[in-house]
Structure 1
Amino acid sequence: MKFSENWLRQHVPTDATREQLAATLTAIGLEVEEVVALGESLDGVVVARIVSAEKHPEADRLQVCQVEIGDGATVQIVCGAPNARAGLKAPLATVGALLPGGMAIKAAKLRGVESFGMLCSAKELGVDPDASGLLELPEDAPVGAPLAQYLGLPDASIEIKLTPNRADCFSVRGIAFDVAAACGSSVVPLDAAPMPALSDAQMAVELDAGAKVPRFVGRAIDGVNARAQTPVWMVERLRRSGIRPISFLVDVTQYVMLELGQPMHAFDRDSLSAPVVVRPARAGEQCKLLDGRTVSLDEDFLVVADSQGGRGARAVALGGIMGGHDTRVTDATVNVFLEAAHWIPSAIIGRGRKLGLHTDAGHRFERGVDPELPRQAVETATRLIVEIAGGVPGPTTEAVLPEHLSAPQPVRLRRERLARVLGLRVADAEVERILSALGLAVAATDEGWSVTAPSRRFDLAIEEDLIEEIARIHGYDAVPTTLPAGAARLIAPSETRVDASVLRRQLAARDYLEAVNYAFVDAGLLATWQAQDGMVPLANPLSAELGAMRTRLLPGLVAALGRNLARQQPRVRLFELGNVFAARAGQAPLETLRIAAVACGDAGAEQWDGKSRPLGFHDLKGDLDSLAALSGARLDYRASQPAWAHPGRSADVYRVDGQGETCLGWIGQLHPRLQRALDLDAEVLGFELDLAPLAQRPLPRAGALSRYPSVRRDLAFVVAQDVPWSALAASVQAAAGPSLRDLVLFDRYQGKGVETGCKSLAMGLILQDESRTLTDRDVEEVVKAVMAAIERDHGAKIRA
């Protein structure tokens, strides 16, 4: 929100300096982003009129002007501005003036012709960035008057950043209440006396949109001079608020919006057919907007329609967003129809973005506008139009659905609750002063106050809202810093779960960097991964590239890896902990916390000792096994081939324990086809697992180590090439029984001495009993059972 400092001070008198005012606004939550001083140091700059403009005898682009500066006196000025012409009124810096930026005005000779001053552009005066020509002043500007006095200078353009709950501060008057409370002042009452009707001219208004538009106010004004010049005070306030003046009727509606916060629109009444109907748009309905675009609408939009071709047949404005082209006011307009309506936020949110539009009206209605403002705005605009451009106003027409308008309800504010939350006691008189200055109705009660917020402050609904108002106006710096009293209840972390921070540190120790990606992704990216099942599309996305909730972490993580590769990072290792989302019929999306990692490049960082080698599947498997070791989980890897995975280099990951097995997720290399689609040159490996089952761990229990010696027996088997080690290990563990303490695979061989299509696997069986020393007979029985099991289950044979 940008506004003029002088305009604000007109609504709330205060002795605070500009610097103090800016600091106060920031301190009370209206963060000042920029303060631009305007028209400083304009002594010696006056309103002047060019009497004549002749071509310079020695320069094609210069003119020799005779300029009237008041009291019949004229001076000669050499000027190069393209719009310098006889009859133009413009600012003149006289000899001796010092302009903003330090430019001193002196008498000079330009190409042999004397010049006694300088005709100025807006940029040279520091009032606007426009430097295309002289600042053209209205025809009624008094010649010889100090320019600063005529333009209401010096001034400043102040821009503040608003939080979404402070929609009431999208107006100068809304900001004034906060300033009054913070500076110990009061807001000047607004002159909002109704403008009497001088004719019977009116247009019937009908509401067909229910609760979405519960109030619509209109007024006809006939005989308006649409060519009337916008007063300079209004032009300057608009310009200093970031609004470009267009024409008087348009400027009035913009001015009222900035001052009061109520967007409104002016129609050419002669182009409308009564009655005016507010209704939902029809599917495929077309509407030509003020910017010349013709948009196609659906039932989610609201329109203002007239009855040309039938009741409510023609859409003449896009409700709450932009007026229509065919009924706009022009210089030829004589009869005007003003409208101001209350559009609820849910009926406007996202509609403008859907069409690629962002308007001041839509921005305000999306956040909420005072439902009581429409009549006040129409009365204010009517008065300005009649005073400046003439016209005969008809009666104000108001269509209202009172059942859809809620009245503000009183909120209890307890004295003890206020002191407890803030940690200090604020005097009763100060509480009442703050709340009253903010425009709230305050009634004292035995335990505190009963407070009723005005309709513009719909963010004040509960006691904590009022406490926040007291805190920010009284000053957060006045809240003492004290340690909490009383006993704090400590909650010990559960030993049955590995904390996420431990997993993070483990991956960081293994040379991974943590990434944080948006939970929103491009739906097209999920389709590329063939991971769109269960996708949750967003009804109001920030952009087309963030249009769906992610179903997996890997697409976003690989995209981040790709951006690093594109910036000449050959070895990238990233991980992420985050939620994924899956749609559920008739319910909120299911959220699942997952952990994922991706890597590419060399297995280790470059160093002087040792050769580099490319990252492989088992490198990534080792990283995952290190995570599993934190919870004591035993992982089982089973070959799989999802759509995004490389055939033969991919596996599903299972956690196996005494209660069964749980599929955690996937590990492997991306499919070459997917890598090409993602424009990745390097081979990328990754894993993604559900975090909860991975992080579960049994309660640790202390146990004595066996006093009896262990025995190791090594066996080498020849087995078919396609038999995985995990299947052999399962058979060995089942056959060996409780005496098997550990099983290790220490050799894998293919080649001479092993028939084609087979492989040799050498394993070590480590046997131990807790109650006695194992005998040779015990060991031999276990070995025989193991040999029989793997021969029976897998056709394996002892290698000679």
Structure 2
Amino acid sequence: MKFSENWLRSHVPTTVSRDELSAVLTAIGLEVEEVTDLGAKLDHVVVARIVSAERHPEADRLQICQVDAGQGEHLQIVCGAPNARAGLVAPLAMIGAKFGDFLIKAAKLRGVDSNGMLCSAKELGLDSDASGLFELPDDAPVGQSLVEYLGLPDASIEIKLTPNRADCFSVRGIAFDVAAACASEVVPFNAAPVAAVGNRELQIALNAGAEAPRYLGRVIEGVNPRAATPLWMAERLRRSGVRPVSLLVDITQYVMLELGQPMHAYDLGTLQGSIGVRRSRAGEQLKLLDGRDAALDDSFLIITDADRPVGLAGLMGGWDTRVTDDTTAVFLEAAHFAPAAIMGRGRKLGLHTDAGHRFERGVDPALPRTAIEYATRLVLDLAGGTPAPVTEAVNAADLPVAAVISLRRARIQRVLGIQIADADVERILRALGMDVAAAGEGWQVTAPSRRFDIAIEEDLIEELARIHGYEQIPTTLPGGAARVAMPSETRLDELSTRRQLVARDLQETINYAFVDAALLGSWQLDQNVVALANPLSAELAVMRPALLPGLVATLGRNAARQQGRVRLFELGRVFHPQAGDDRPAPMETTRVAVAVCGEADPQQWGLATRKVDFHDLKGDLESLAAASGAVLTFVPSTRPYGHPARSAEVLRDGQTIGWIGQIHPRLAQAMDIDVDVYAFELDLAPLAARELPRASELSRFPSVRRDLAFLVPEGAAWADLEATLRRAAGPMLRQVTLFDRYVGQGVEPGFKSLAMGLILQDKSRTLTDRDVDAVVTEAVAAMEREHHARIRG
């Protein structure tokens, strides 16, 4: 938002300097981005009139002008501006004027004397227009100081607004904040109703419900189409970053900048019937003021004339009904549109307008009446005309209603940590335009209709804090004793889990918690998922039910970029819906996942090159399990995304906690991954749980080892064999080690030879051969009984 400093001061008188004003604006949340001085160094610049202009004999583009500067004798000025002509009133920099380091002095241009310089707006630092001389009104007093005539010095101030402060998209809106911060008062605004003289009215029909609950219009006939925009208005517009166009257009822009209410003017002669507000229909076309043809769908709010689109509501008017230099009758529009009805519509068409910027953030619903009366008065004063009555259509039930908010003294002190005097609370809130009434332990406060951001008690406290001054709130260290939370020894913490995986030569990744539903479909994980109501994109439309789809996709992107050996892990949350009539939040579960491909070991001279396989990954998992003391078992898995012969369910204490295996080749191919991928994913909580460590004495007696070789059926699982041996051997068995597997000559088909070592030890005595033989005999018998195994001869 850019505005003139002098314009602001006309609404809120204050004695603070420009630098102090800038500091105050920034301190109360209206951050000043730029301050441009206007007219600060324009000494010796006066209003002058060109009496005659003749072509320079030695230069086609130069003219020799005789200029009246109010000094009696005419001054001869050589000028190259294309608009220099007899009768033009323009600024003249006299000899001795200085622009920066450039000093104006008498000179000869192509042999002709020149005693000053006629100036453009850019040379004066008042505007960026350098196309010609700065044209002043014909009635400008010749010889008067330009600074005095233009009401200089002034400054163009640009502030940065947060989206919740739509009320400050106007000079008057900013004035309320300045008044509160500077202990001043806003000057009352005079927008007295203009009495109707004519009787021409256009009927208005609202057919957009809550999207357009209020619309006002007024016909003004007999307007002077050649009336010029007065200098004071043009200068205020120019200093606010708006280039003057024509009087009727400039008045609507002026009202918007001063009050915050966007307006539009239609040429009454181009309108054919009643005015309506409705949703557009798919396929409708509208030529806009900027000349482009807009193709509309059913999401736009439009203004119609006898059901013909004539304007995009809240954005831009139409070409066919625009005001021109021949317009003698005008229809003024002021309306309230709901922010949701305007939001995003301009971006669909590549439009960014000042009106749309304001309506998207919220415009005061009570402002249209004031704005149309004010605009009417400006039109009558500057261009004449006959005003008709104001026609208003309103759906009162759809207009926002300001709520009464209770503000408590105790709550102010609790939130801010300081006590603000009652008189200061009331002064600040009233200066901001709020109604304040004392009640009980505080006040009952009603915010003005322009303040959409004031809804609860904390909003009022925020207003008090920023106006009273954040610097007035002391910095206080928190008191009380800090609680030291000791980590539980019954659980392996997440940091230790990460360190363990990093120690296994794995790299951590962090993927989005949102995934593409199509990706989940290829994994057959797209059932019973949590879909987002308003996703960022179609590729991030579902909350992930598993870590592996995203992790394997990341592995694939790395493998496609010449990374032959990829070893990744992720520790994060997955989400599943919960049943219930009250739409409970998704259930979150923390999991750990690993995905690897390529070589088993980094390339080196001491090891033969080989591809990673299931057992390498199983070693990584068992290393992670060993950190918590977990004993895992594995059973074949039938999950659709796993290789049917190289995947397993992972169990702890009989409970399934995850999956490990090779990603199905068809799935890898669908994901454009042309290498074997091995992965696992487990719930972290059951994996990280561990028993409370207890110290125990190590046995002082030697251990005994017995090696056995069994012939067992090919389908026998080692996990089952190990469990049988441990049950049969009893408490003396310390460890079972499988050190050889053999099939081939000497082993009948359908069987395999497994060689294992049993390590036995007792804490209270040295084992005898009889003790060891008894354990071995029981172990062999159990293997024969439960697995049809026999000792290999």
TM-score of Structure 1 vs Structure 2, range by shorter chain: 0.7 to 0.9
Map 1:211-230 → 2, pairs under 5 A: 211-230=210-229
Q: 2 CA distance for matches of 1:438 and 1:450?
A: 15
Q: For 1:92, what is the secondary structure of its paired residue?
A: strand
Map 1:72-151 → 2, pairs under 5 A: 73-100=73-100, 102-151=101-150
**How many residue pairs were aligned?**
778
Q: 1 CA distance for matches of 2:471 and 2:285?
A: 55
Query: Do 1:664 and 1:693's aligned partners in 2 also have CA atoms closer than 8 Å?
Result: no
Residues 720-757 of structure 1 deviation map (CA, whole Å, 9 limit, x = unaligned): 99x8x9x5435544664476766666678999999999
Q: 2 CA distance for matches of 1:324 and 1:154?
A: 39
Aligned to 2:199: 200
Aligned to 1:776: 773
Map 1:570-589 → 2, pairs under 5 A: none
**Residue ranges of structure 2 left out of the alignment (5+ in a row):** none
1:646–1:699 Cα change, 3 Å: closer
Residues 422-447 of structure 1 deviation map (CA, whole Å, 9 limit, x = unaligned): 22211111111111111111122342
Aligned to 1:660: 655
Q: 1 CA distance for matches of 2:107 and 2:638?
A: 85
Query: Do 1:732 and 1:789's aligned partners in 2 also have CA atoms closer than 8 Å?
Result: no
Q: 2 CA distance for matches of 1:560 and 1:413?
A: 53
Q: Is 1:261 aligned with 2:260?
A: yes
Q: 2 CA distance for matches of 1:147 and 1:687?
A: 80
Q: 1 CA distance for matches of 2:584 and 2:345?
A: 23
Residues 320-365 of structure 1 deviation map (CA, whole Å, 9 limit, x = unaligned): 3332333232333222212222222233333333444333323322
Q: Is 1:440 aligned with 2:437?
A: no
Q: Is 1:475 aligned with 2:469?
A: yes
Q: 1 CA distance for matches of 2:2 and 2:539?
A: 30
Q: For 2:374, what is the secondary structure of its paired residue?
A: helix
1:776–1:641 Cα change, 3 Å: closer
Q: For 2:143, what is the secondary structure of its paired residue?
A: coil
Q: 2 CA distance for matches of 1:50 and 1:791?
A: 121
Give the Å deviation of 1:291: 3.3
Aligned to 1:310: none
Residues 57-108 of structure 1 deviation map (CA, whole Å, 9 limit, x = unaligned): 55555554444433454434444445555554443333222224x3333333
Aligned to 2:41: 41
One of 365, 368, 373 as aligned partner of 1:374: 368
Q: 2 CA distance for matches of 1:769 and 1:243?
A: 95
Q: Is 1:248 aligned with 2:240?
A: no
Q: 2 CA distance for matches of 1:198 and 1:428?
A: 50
One of 446, 454, 465 as aligned partner of 2:459: 465
Q: 2 CA distance for matches of 1:562 and 1:140?
A: 77
Aligned to 1:323: 317
Q: 1 CA distance for matches of 2:114 and 2:275?
A: 60
1:703–1:63 Cα change, 3 Å: same
Q: 2 CA distance for matches of 1:588 and 1:357?
A: 40
Farther off after superposition, 297-306 or 501-510: 501-510
One of 363, 387, 390 as aligned partner of 1:393: 387
RMSD value, Cα:
4.9
Give the Å deviation of 1:266: 1.8
Q: 1 CA distance for matches of 2:127 and 2:200?
A: 41
Query: Do 1:718 and 1:798's aligned partners in 2 also have CA atoms closer than 8 Å?
Result: yes
| Residue type at the aligned position of 1:253 | T
| Residue type at the aligned position of 1:148 | V
Query: Do 2:532 and 2:543's aligned partners in 1 also have CA atoms closer than 8 Å?
Result: no
Give the Å deviation of 1:564: 9.4
Aligned to 2:327: 333
Q: For 1:160, what is the secondary structure of its paired residue?
A: strand
Give the Å deviation of 1:21: 1.8
Q: Is 1:314 aligned with 2:313?
A: no
Give the Å deviation of 1:395: 0.7
Give the Å deviation of 1:716: 7.8
Q: For 2:388, what is the secondary structure of its paired residue?
A: strand
| Residue type at the aligned position of 1:168 | D
Q: 2 CA distance for matches of 1:389 and 1:650?
A: 88
| Residue type at the aligned position of 1:474 | H
Q: Is 1:32 aligned with 2:32?
A: yes
Q: Is 1:702 aligned with 2:697?
A: no
1:734–1:717 Cα change, 3 Å: closer
Query: Do 1:82 and 1:133's aligned partners in 2 also have CA atoms closer than 8 Å?
Result: yes
| Residue type at the aligned position of 2:27 | A
| Residue type at the aligned position of 2:32 | V
| Residue type at the aligned position of 1:782 | A
Query: Do 1:31 and 1:162's aligned partners in 2 also have CA atoms closer than 8 Å?
Result: yes
Q: For 2:123, what is the secondary structure of its paired residue?
A: helix
Residues 683-733 of structure 1 deviation map (CA, whole Å, 9 limit, x = unaligned): 797968576657762563537477487666667899999x8x9x5435544
Q: Is 1:8 aligned with 2:8?
A: yes
| Residue type at the aligned position of 1:105 | I
1:146–1:487 Cα change, 3 Å: same
Residues 160-185 of structure 1 deviation map (CA, whole Å, 9 limit, x = unaligned): 33233222222221111111111111
Query: Do 1:750 and 1:759's aligned partners in 2 also have CA atoms closer than 8 Å?
Result: yes
Query: Do 1:538 and 1:549's aligned partners in 2 also have CA atoms closer than 8 Å?
Result: no
Residues 506-533 of structure 1 deviation map (CA, whole Å, 9 limit, x = unaligned): 6677787777676677889989999887
Residues 640-682 of structure 1 deviation map (CA, whole Å, 9 limit, x = unaligned): 9999x89799968x542225213469986997756769xxxx9
Q: Is 1:180 aligned with 2:179?
A: yes
Give the Å deviation of 1:26: 2.0
Give the Å deviation of 1:187: 0.9
1:314–1:96 Cα change, 3 Å: same
1:11–1:573 Cα change, 3 Å: farther
Percent of pairs with identical residues: 58
TM-score by length of 2: 0.81
Q: For 2:156, what is the secondary structure of its paired residue?
A: strand
| Residue type at the aligned position of 2:29 | G
Q: 2 CA distance for matches of 1:771 and 1:576?
A: 46
Q: 1 CA distance for matches of 2:435 and 2:506?
A: 58
Larger Rg: 2
Q: Is 1:357 aligned with 2:354?
A: no
1:735–1:720 Cα change, 3 Å: closer
Map 1:682-761 → 2, pairs under 5 A: 689=681, 693=685, 697=689, 700=692, 702=694, 704=696, 707=699, 728-729=718-719, 732-733=722-723, 736-737=726-727
Query: Do 2:573 and 2:589's aligned partners in 1 also have CA atoms closer than 8 Å?
Result: yes
One of 416, 441, 447 as aligned partner of 1:422: 416
1:620–1:115 Cα change, 3 Å: farther
| Residue type at the aligned position of 1:10 | S
Query: Do 1:43 and 1:97's aligned partners in 2 also have CA atoms closer than 8 Å?
Result: yes
Give the Å deviation of 1:15: 2.0
Aligned to 1:277: 276
Query: Do 1:514 and 1:574's aligned partners in 2 also have CA atoms closer than 8 Å?
Result: yes
Farther off after superposition, 241-250 or 562-571: 562-571
| Residue type at the aligned position of 1:242 | G
1:776–1:417 Cα change, 3 Å: same
1:151–1:525 Cα change, 3 Å: farther
Query: Do 1:655 and 1:694's aligned partners in 2 also have CA atoms closer than 8 Å?
Result: no
1:243–1:676 Cα change, 3 Å: farther
Q: 2 CA distance for matches of 1:546 and 1:369?
A: 36
Q: 2 CA distance for matches of 1:338 and 1:576?
A: 62
Map 1:553-572 → 2, pairs under 5 A: none
Query: Do 1:633 and 1:655's aligned partners in 2 also have CA atoms closer than 8 Å?
Result: no
Q: For 2:103, what is the secondary structure of its paired residue?
A: coil
| Residue type at the aligned position of 2:403 | Q
| Residue type at the aligned position of 2:256 | M
Aligned to 1:69: 69
| Residue type at the aligned position of 1:266 | A
